[in-house]
Every structure is written in C-alpha cells, then in structure tokens.
C-alpha cells in the first residue's frame, strides 16, 4: 500500500500536472451515498471496480455538466477493459482521496475542452491494466498461460480447453495481482465501444428525475441559506440590521459571510430569501461606483491607438508594408461583457465541525473546490473533503471561481455541526459572475495591386483573464490566452493564414469588472474579428470570400479541409434559394479545426437563420453522436451571444439581473444544423468549445451578403438590419 503524502494548505497547489505514474491497488475509497457500498467490491485498480454480479464501476475524475465527458471517458476505459457495456456504471472519486493516493486519477479540472483529450491515454491504460490483471487471475486459477486466454464482453475464455469465467467471478483474485508494467493500447481502428455513437450513461436518470444536482441536495437536519453581496464591484458591507428580520418565519440566523456579503439562514430557502429581501443593508460602494459602459469603452478605444502593446504574432514588417500598400482597409470591432448564466445558479452544501469540513457541490474542478474548503475552514486539506455532483451548467463559471464554496463554508463555520445549503438567487448569480472579457479590435489590411493581402495589423484592446484569475501564468506581463486562434504555431490555437507581413498585438486594459473563462473564451471574439475582416478584405478586393481565403491557406491544410467541407456541403459554388444569403468562417481552437457556413435571410430588418453547416476535425472521436450534440449545443450558445449576449455597466454594477434583460436564443430562432465530423487522426482536440467561435462570424458574413451592412459591434439586437 502507498502511504498518503503529507499535504498542507500551503503546499497543495490546485491544477498541478497529473502525477499518474502507475495505478495503485487495494484501497477502500469512501464515496458518498450509495457508492459507499461499492467499497466492498473488489477494486481492480483506481479506475475499475468489478462487482460479483459482473457490474463494472468506472471511476471518472472529470466533471459532467451536460457535455458527455462522463460517457466518453467510460467508453475509453471500457474499450480497453473489454467489458460488457450494458453492465457499466460510473462514479466520481473524491479530490481528497486523489490527494491521499498521490493523484492517481490525475487532474480533476474540466474546462478548455480538455476532459477527454488530456486524460484519454491514462484512462485507457487504466482499463487495459485491469483487463490484464483479470485475465491473469483467471489464468492463475486454471494454471494455464495467460497468452492462451482471451476476453470479450467481460467473459474470459481459455481457448484450448473452452473453459470460461466472468470478470465478477475472478475480481477478488485479480485485485491481488501485480499490475503489468506495460500494456498495449488498441489502435482506434480496432475500437468496438469507443468511437461509436452510444447513448449517454446519464440520460435515463435525467429523464426520470433520479439525477441529483446541487440544488437537490438534502442532508439530515439541513438548513438553507440565501446570500446577497454588494452589487458594486469592489464594494463592501457597511452595516445591516439582523434584528429587523430575526422574527420572520423560519429564520434561524443572519450572518456576515465576508467583507462583501450577508446571508440569512432559515428552515427553507424561500424563507431565507424572503427575509433577505427585507433585511436592511447599507453598502459601501467603494471606488468603482463611477464606472460605466461608456467609461470602459473610452478606456478600450484609447488602447487601440496606444504606442505600447504586447505582441502575440509577428512576421515581416506589417507597418512598413501597410504604408506602401496599393489599398488599405480599416475596421474597428467590439465585443461586450457576457454572463455564463448557467441554468443552475451557484450553490453548495457544507457541514463544518472543529475536526472536519465536508462540502457537496457542482464543480468543474474538485481539487480547486477542496483547496477553497481548506482555506475557508482553516483546517488541513486531509481533514476536508468535497463530493462532486453533476453540474446544471458550467461554461467556465464553476472552474477557477470557488466563491460559492468559500461562502457556504463561512456560513457553516458559524453554525458548527449543522448542514447548510447555500443557493444563490438568479439575480445574485447574474450580478456576481466572472464575465466574458470585453475587448475592442482595430484591423488594418493592405492589398497589393492584384488584390492580394500583403499586410495585416490586428490590435486588440481589452481585458486579460489571466491577469485577474491566474497571474502566475502570465508571460512577462503578456497574456497568451488573449491570442487564441491567432498564434503562429502550436497544437492549440494556430492561425490558419500565411501573411507575409503580420502584426497581432494586445493593449491590455483591465476595467474593474471581473473577467473569467467563458465557454470558448477569447477564441469567440478573435474568430469574429479575423473572419469578418477577411470578408471585408475579400469584398474590397472584389473577390469571392472563399477564393480569397484559399490563397492564404495553402500552408494550412487542416484549416482548409474543414472550410472546403462546409463550402461543399452548403453548395457555395451554386446560387442559394431566392432571398437567402451565405457566409462562412473557420478557425482552430482547443486543438481542433472547425468551420461553419450559414444561410440566412433578412426581410424588413428581421433576421432568419435557416441553416448552418459545421465541420469539425478533432483528430479522434470517442462518441460521434455526442460530438454532433456538442456542435449543435455550441451553436445555441454562440448564436445566443451573437444576437443577445451583452452585460452593460452602470454605477459600477451589472445592469442585467435576470433572463428578462439577458435573453437567450429560442427554439423557433434556431437554424437547422448539419454536422460534419471528419477526424484526421494523429492528435486529440476538443469538441465542446471550438465551434462556438465560428457560429457568429458565419452568420455576420451572411448578413452582410443579405443587407450590405457590416455589424462590427455585438450583440445584433442593438442594430437595425434593414438594407442600406
């Protein structure tokens, strides 16, 4: 047995690289709820538990928030395990146990479309290792060479004698076997479980209401808390009158949570919320009460012309080439703050005692939540635990941002021994997000006498997420995340155009509105800036937008392949139906190559999106049906942002407090989506986020084709689309 490492709050660094140097055996893992019963079943290794009835429990470290990672990772383990897929179930290990077992499960972080692509190798090895141990146990029982045994659907067969045994019958013996030092993984061409469009493992529980989310959590003798923080960013609690609501129905206590917020604890959440609405609170608005959308826009506009900027991509002499260009084209684009707006607001449940603190919560990063629990409770990490639940939406909000976890622990600490469930109201959730960063972008392109792009300068002015959230990841003051989709090379965000004279830079301007990783992150606006401006350049050169791009993409075959695929499927070379107009876009992000082509019509200023064709090359595909769902869902998200997504600021606070002022796409507005999944092999890319980025520019370019209007500032709801 391995001994638990010494871990303190000081040296527990969340997000460190996965230390998966092998698979530990023989541990009893304390899972919450019904999963505790599985501890008596033999653990073959950290990933696989086999029950006597042949049920296989696959442990999934990454979080499930609707994206299908849970099913995809289970498919990869089951593929190598050679088990019966119909007998597979899953459970989450806990981050505390991960630390105690030298991080055998690797990273618990689920974001950046990395859930499968960062862990596919070691989870497959977990399945393969367990398979070899089960075969070895059967061979040992029969006293035959393991090489004479084969397995299919969890049944091991000794070929010469015809004897067979199930996994459940040899699991106890297998758990005692020494794991092999090396295992061979299948080539994807051999997959029979992975790579197939299998139904998701969590669908039935969601349809029947069996699935438990954070807002559903119930603990014995639990109380409920509602919270309110100062609505002005940087503000604090000045005072509050607890006595004014202490006699209201169900109220048990009024507590100050931290410098910025106050909570009411009551028998039910509605009682807590009602009392909180009646609680007299005086706020100290702090230094940001004069901040508005106008002051922020002026700050960013100044950055567009600033002398100093961080360079993200440079080739040749862009400024010199622009000065000598036969024709120059200039445009300024702008992208607003946007809210994650998850359907399940922030919530968590905690129990604190002097000896231990436990939290149940939906989180994209169980280890970050565990660190937050340790910090807020003041207890060592080994005396804290987090039990992950399915998320009712994440989109980046529940990853780096653990404010709701710290809050519930603070409340529980003031009521020791009592389980406390904290749920944010929708208004609290909207007013205290970590918003998609606001930016402006000035692009200047130079064309030669033949209409070829000879130079491009792209100046981004706006927020840095890393500066606010992860400053240790900055590179000499520069935020590389700003340049997603615009890099000169690499496996994640390579620009798909070769331009002899190129300058892409960033004037960092950070207003006091907290930025965060919002699904698709900076790839979203960068795709709009680059792909819409490519259309502008093509129009100025009098060339077809696809033909104009092709000339710049000869050295980028994978970028070009997805673009050609959507163009062919939508019939780019043929005339569209009368009144219908087309636009297209492409980009690389999160390790995948994506493109979209849209068909829209605009009648009397009313936009109708008829059809979008999307192509994705993620290298490998674990579940093609789930990729299609992710692409379709990403268009809902991306088009909602394009049409409606805008958070405005007045008096240092967000003005949009609910869905009546922060709209989302309705089903009747959604175009038909055709998904082309075209994995080329050799790499692993993401699928949850990349296609969000091409939704808006494809539609915006189609709107220009329909109306002659360039929409350079989102969202579309602020514009009159009637033809010029």
| Block mean pLDDT (10 aa), the chain, length 724 | 34 34 30 42 94 97 96 98 98 96 95 94 97 98 97 97 97 97 96 97 94 96 98 98 98 98 98 98 98 98 98 98 98 98 98 98 98 98 97 96 98 98 98 98 98 98 98 97 98 98 98 98 98 98 98 98 98 97 98 98 97 98 97 96 98 98 96 98 96 98 97 98 81
Per-residue model confidence (pLDDT) at position 40: 64
Strand arrangement of the beta sheet that strand 672-677 belongs to: 581-589, 592-603, 606-617, 672-677
Using DSSP's 3-state secondary structure scheme, residue 173 falls into helix
Token output for 57: 């429990």
DSSP string over 88-120: EEEEPPPHHHHHHTTTTT---B--TT-TTTTTH
Pairing type for strands 43-45 and 48-50 reads antiparallel
Per-residue model confidence (pLDDT) at position 178: 96
pTM of the predicted model, to two decimals?
0.93
Per-residue model confidence (pLDDT) at position 10: 37
Which class for 423: exposed (0-12), middle (13-18), buried (19 or more C-beta within 10 A)?
A: buried
Strand arrangement of the beta sheet that strand 88-91 belongs to: 43-45, 48-50, 56-59, 88-91
Q: Which residues pair with 237 in a beta bridge?
A: 283
At which residue do the structure tokens 């909602």 appear? 640
Per-residue model confidence (pLDDT) at position 11: 42
Instruction: Give the H/E segment covering residue 526.
Output: helix 523-541
368/15 Cα distance (integer angstroms): 7
Per-residue model confidence (pLDDT) at position 540: 98
Per-residue model confidence (pLDDT) at position 41: 79
Contacts of residue 361, defined as CB under 8 A and 6 or more positions apart, other chains included, come to 214, 347, 348, 349, 369, 386, 387, 388, 389, 404, 405, 408
């Amino acid at each position: 047995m391995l001994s638990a490492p010494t871990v303190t709050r000081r040296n527990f660094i969340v997000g460190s690289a996965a230390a998966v140097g092998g698979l530990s055996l023989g541990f009893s893992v304390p899972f919450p709820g019904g999963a505790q019963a599985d501890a008596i079943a033999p653990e073959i290794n950290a990933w696989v538990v086999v029950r006597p009835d042949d049920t296989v429990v696959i442990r999934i470290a990454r979080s499930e928030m609707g994206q299908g990672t849970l099913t995809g990772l289970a498919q990869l383990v089951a593929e190598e395990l050679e088990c019966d897929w119909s007998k597979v179930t899953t459970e989450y290990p806990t981050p505390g146990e991960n630390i105690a077992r030298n991080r055998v499960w690797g990273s618990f972080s689920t974001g950046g479309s990395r859930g499968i692509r960062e862990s596919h190798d070691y989870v497959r090895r977990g399945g393969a290792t367990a398979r070899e141990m089960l075969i070895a146990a059967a061979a040992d029982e029969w006293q035959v060479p393991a090489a004479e045994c084969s397995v299919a659907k969890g049944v091991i067969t000794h070929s010469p004698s015809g004897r067979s045994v199930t996994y459940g019958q040899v699991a106890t013996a297998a758990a005692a076997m020494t794991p092999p030092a090396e295992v061979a993984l299948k080539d994807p061409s051999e997959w029979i479980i992975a790579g197939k469009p299998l139904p998701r493992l969590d669908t039935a529980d969601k349809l029947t209401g069996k699935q438990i989310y954070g807002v559903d959590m119930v603990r014995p003798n639990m109380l409920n808390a509602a919270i309110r923080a100062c609505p002005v960013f940087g503000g604090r609690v000045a005072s509050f009158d607890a006595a004014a609501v202490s006699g209201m129905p169900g109220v048990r206590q009024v507590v100050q949570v931290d410098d910025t917020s106050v909570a009411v604890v009551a028998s039910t959440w509605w009682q807590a919320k009602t009392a909180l609405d009646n609680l007299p609170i005086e706020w100290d608005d702090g230094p940001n009460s004069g901040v508005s959308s106008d002051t922020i826009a002026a700050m960013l506009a100044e950055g567009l012309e600033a002398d100093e900027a961080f360079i993200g991509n440079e080739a040749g002499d862009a400024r010199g080439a622009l000065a000598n260009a036969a024709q120059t084209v200039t445009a300024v684009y702008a992208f607003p703050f946007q809210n994650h707006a998850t359907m399940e607001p922030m919530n968590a449940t905690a129990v604190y005692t002097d000896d231990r603190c436990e939290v149940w919560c939906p989180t994209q990063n169980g280890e970050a939540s565990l660190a937050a629990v340790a910090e807020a409770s003041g207890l060592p990490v080994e005396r804290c635990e987090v039990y992950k639940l399915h998320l009712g939406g994440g989109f980046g909000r529940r990853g780096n941002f653990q404010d709701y976890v710290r809050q519930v622990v603070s409340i529980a600490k003031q009521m020791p021994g009592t389980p406390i469930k904290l749920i944010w109201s929708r208004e609290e959730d909207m007013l205290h997000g970590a918003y998609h960063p606001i930016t402006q972008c000035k692009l200047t392109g130079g064309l030669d006498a033949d209409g070829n792009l000879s130079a491009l300068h792209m100046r981004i002015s706006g927020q840095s997420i890393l500066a606010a959230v992860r400053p240790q990841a900055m590179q000499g003051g520069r935020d590389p995340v700003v340049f997603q989709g615009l890099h000169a090379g690499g496996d994640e965000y390579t620009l798909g155009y070769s331009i002899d004279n190129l300058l892409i830079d960033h004037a960092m301007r950070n207003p006091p509105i907290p930025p965060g990783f919002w699904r698709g992150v900076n790839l979203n606006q960068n795709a709009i800036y680059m792909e819409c401006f490519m259309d502008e350049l093509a129009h100025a050169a009098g060339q077809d937008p696809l033909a104009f791009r092709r000339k710049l993409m000869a050295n980028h075959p994978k970028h070009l392949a997805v673009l050609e695929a959507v163009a062919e499927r939508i019939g780019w070379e043929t005339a569209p139906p009368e009144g219908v107009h087309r636009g297209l876009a492409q980009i690389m992000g999160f390790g995948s190559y994506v493109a979209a082509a849209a068909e829209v019509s605009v009648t009397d200023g009313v936009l109708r999106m008829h059809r979008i064709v999307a192509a994705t090359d993620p290298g490998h595909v674990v579940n093609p049906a789930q990729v299609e769902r992710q692409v379709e869902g990403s268009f809902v998200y991306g088009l909602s942002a394009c049409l409606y997504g805008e958070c405005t600021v007045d008096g240092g606070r967000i003005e949009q407090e609910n869905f009546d002022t922060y709209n989302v796409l309705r089903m009747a507005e959604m175009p038909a989506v055709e998904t082309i999944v075209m994995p080329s092999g050799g790499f692993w890319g993401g699928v949850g986020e990349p296609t969000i980025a091409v939704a808006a520019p494809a539609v915006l370019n189609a709107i220009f084709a329909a109306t002659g209007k360039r929409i350079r500032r989102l969202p579309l709801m602020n514009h009159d689309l009637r033809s010029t």
